[in-house]
Amino acid sequence: MRCPFCSDEENKVIDTRLAKDGEEIRRRRECEECGRRFTTRERLETVLPRVIKGDKRREDYDRSKLQRGIEAACVKRPVSADAIERLLDTIERTAHESGEKEITSSEIGSLSMRGLIDMDQLAAVRFASVFKNFQSGEDYIAFFAGLDRDEEKPS
């Protein structure tokens, strides 16, 4: 592991902890060259389905791309970085557990929307406006009407 401060490759692990419900290992490291400390995270690499885009192109799943979209929807909203990470983990786990080799981008978007609705409805509407390509005020009205219907359903 290369030090992010001096780029030296010699460092030692000073603390190791499980994080993210045991799905990730967090290690505190100390660079032997400059003495600065930094954190690394390790997670099991899972093979996720390829993504089928709206124009039928196929590409590898890119967590950072989805993360940027969700973070943009959550700007200036009371949604923590940990909550976003948990949502991304849930989406990936659902995609992986489906057993399918491919998943559509609209399925990923729907999973993201459901998670965002539970976290913050305004962040969800921001995400929906891009994901569903809202063109007018009626699109927003229909979205909120759908939220109202979902809230009225008995549990």
Mean pLDDT of all residues in 50-54: 92
- Band of pLDDT at residue 103, cut at 50, 70 and 90: very high
DSSP lists the bridge partners of residue 104 as 52
Mean pLDDT of all residues in 99-126: 92
The string of pLDDT tens digits covering residues 39-49 is 998 877 667 88
pLDDT of residue 33: 94
Structure tokens at 87: 């949502």
CA–CA separation, 123 and 121 (whole Å): 5
Is 90 exceeded by the pLDDT of residue 91? yes
Quick one: which of 7, 64, 63, 67 has its CA closest to 38?
Answer: 7
- So where are the chain's domains? 11-43, 50-152
- Band of pLDDT at residue 145, cut at 50, 70 and 90: confident
